[in-house]
Amino acid sequence: VTEAPTMSTVALSTGSWTGPVIDVDVHVTVPDSEVLLPFLSDFWIEFVHESNLRAPPAATQVYPPGAPTTCRDEWRPADGSPPASDLAMLQRDLLDPLRVQHAIINCYWGIESIRHPDLSLALARAVNDWLAEEWLARDSRLRAAVVVPGHDPNAAAGEIDRMGEHPGFVSVLLPTRSMRLYGNRLWHPMFAAIARHDLVASLHFGGQSDGPPTPVGFPAWFLEEHAADTQLWASQLTSVIGEGLFEKFPTLRMSFLESGFAWIGSAMWRLDKEWKGLRRDIPWVRQPPSRTIRERLKVSTRPLDAGPLDHWRHAIGWLGSDDMLMFATDYPHAHDQDFQLLLDATPDLAHAGIMGDNARGHYRGL
Amino acid sequence: VTVARHVVARVQDIPEGGRLIVTLQGHSIGIFHVRERFFAVLNRCPRKGAQLCRGSILGYLEADAPGELRYDPDRIMLQCPWHGWEYDLETGESYVPRSRIRSYRVDIENGQEVAEELRGGQVQAMDDDRATRAELGLGRSGPRVQRGPFVAETFPVSVRDDYLVISLPGRVRDTLEET
């Protein structure tokens, strides 16, 4: 067995921030389909065994188990079990030392890569029930995102309705690489359900769409796929603004998790500029898109996208709002930039918001 | 406030959907005839200075949600030919924050009234030079432009016709200045 290369040598900390935090992007992993059996019907139990289904294909494609980005070194379980699959470890490694008041767990398991529409729904339901019973019920600090099938907006809406009244669920996990851009009207039933239950639509890095992982084509290396992800975020942002998702659902809020945010300022400028001349195409967009983005969208702080401090400070300023950033560790995934960089680049008055209050205003019941 | 009033054309000179572009007191101004109303605005887009009055005349389009279009043909927008920004011909306002165009008052007066005002110096006539430079655009979008003169040949004033009188702030200037 070869050891994963060491990436992080110092324990993760919140730097000079010593208060409590809300962590909006914490991952838990389904260690194996076996843990879902108590939440599956007899037919699906047989199906899982007969087809030897251990995990949906995208689970390990999006987070290759051996990649240094997949887990911080000190968070890798010594027994070789999958990272982030044990509550005691999560408490010891993250919730306790970082003074986490609430953590929103996003269980990305690649369910959207399953094309069997009934299996995909059955697995999503099982994951949600497993999250409620094995995680939410066992630590009151935890909140969770509802997992939904990726190719059937009506089935997704049904699952959101089933879980929506559970107070532990505060958002819906939507992979960035979706089968269609999220502004597309075919998604409306799903977003209607999200809005109906006052949940947040949480787009998260990952997914397996019908197309390649960059808008142009297939890259050659994992690094390219990882870095080119920014283009998908920009595409989704443009789509949900242009197709009027926030006008269709006037209370809808959205999170971008693991999107980075240094790029958002210039994307807003471009959207505003084009809107002035091409508003007639999208007359439902009644105010400059940047305003809608600031009102409805919040972004997690992993990755930090930090560059040289002077430049990066400008890039954050270009967001035009101190309220858009929400602290997140992206546990257990490894990002090597220190949170102190963010505290140094933002005004002191914004820190309470970034470390918790912004999320509190965004998600229900925090 | 000093106001200079100019008689620019007979009502019948600008057909429905047309616009006449004239120079008054050094300013290029477009007079539009849309749905039986007349509007006058400065021929300059505040964005980048394009000749706004060469743009398309459009009904107002709005929506509360994707696909739920409301089209109002009576609220008339002028769309800049360069960058597509739209301005309300009546109010000069745009949906773009803090951007608006200058609009001018248009009166329709009968020939007898105009003739008296011309004699008394209360309105100014178009001279031959200005009338020759005037342009008539026909068609609501992509207007076909014809060169003048359009007005000079209609003078002296006929009592049987109605005339368009544009009011501009400022004193009357004799020299023809291009903006």
Q: Please give the backbone phi and psi of residue A348, each rounded to the nearest 5 degrees, phi first.
A: -55, -40
Lowest mean pLDDT among A207-216, A304-313, B34-43, B50-59: A207-216
Residue A272 Cα, gap to closest chain B Cα (Å)? 10
Res B80 pLDDT > 50: yes
Structure tokens at B138: 């026909």
Q: Is A273 on the interface with B (CB under 8 A)?
A: no
Model pLDDT, residue B156: 62
Residue bearing tokens 């809020």: A253
For residue A119, give the H/E element and its range: helix A117-130
Model pLDDT, residue A1: 47
Model pLDDT, residue B78: 97
Q: Is A308 on the interface with B (CB under 8 A)?
A: no
Model pLDDT, residue B179: 42
Q: Is A276 on the interface with B (CB under 8 A)?
A: yes
Model pLDDT, residue B127: 78
Confidence at B151, pLDDT banded by 50, 70, 90: low
DSSP B36-59: TEEEEEES--TTT---GGGSEEEE
Residue B152 Cα, gap to closest chain A Cα (Å)? 38
pLDDT above 90 covers a percentage of chain B that reads 63
Q: Are B63 and B11 in contact (CB under 8 A)?
A: no
Higher pLDDT, B65 or B171: B65
CB contact under 8 A, B65 and A280: no
Confidence at B173, pLDDT banded by 50, 70, 90: low
Nearest to A363, CA basis, from A132, A103, A107, A26: A103
Q: What is the mean pLDDT of residues B69-79?
A: 96
Mutual angle of helices A117-130 and A153-163, in 10-degree steps: 20
CB contact under 8 A, B84 and A277: yes
Burial class (CB in 10 A: 0-12, 13-18, 19+), A171: buried
d(CA B100, CA B173): 26
Model pLDDT, residue B107: 96
CB contact under 8 A, B64 and A279: no
What are the mean pLDDT values of chain A's consecutive 10-residue runs (366 residues total)? 52 94 97 97 97 89 82 90 94 97 96 94 98 98 98 98 98 95 98 98 88 88 89 96 98 97 96 95 96 98 92 94 95 90 96 98 96
d(CA B154, CA A43): 91
Q: Which amino acid is at A224?
A: E
Beta strand B19-24 pairing with B27-34: antiparallel
Higher pLDDT, B172 or A299: A299
Q: What's the ipTM? A: 0.81
Residues in B closer than 8 angstroms to A277, CB to CB, are: 83-85
CB contact under 8 A, A283 and B61: yes
Model pLDDT, residue A63: 82
d(CA A11, CA B107): 78
Q: Which amino acid is at B50?
A: A
Model pLDDT, residue B157: 66
Q: Least CB-CB distance to B85: which of A185, A248, A277?
A: A277
Q: What is the pTM (predicted TM-score) of this model? A: 0.90
Beta strand A21-27 pairing with B124-125: unpaired
Residues in A closer than 8 angstroms to B84, CB to CB, are: 276-280
What's CA A110's distance to the chain center, in Å?
13
Res B133 pLDDT > 90: no
CB contact under 8 A, A284 and B63: yes
Residue of A nearest to B81 (CA): A277
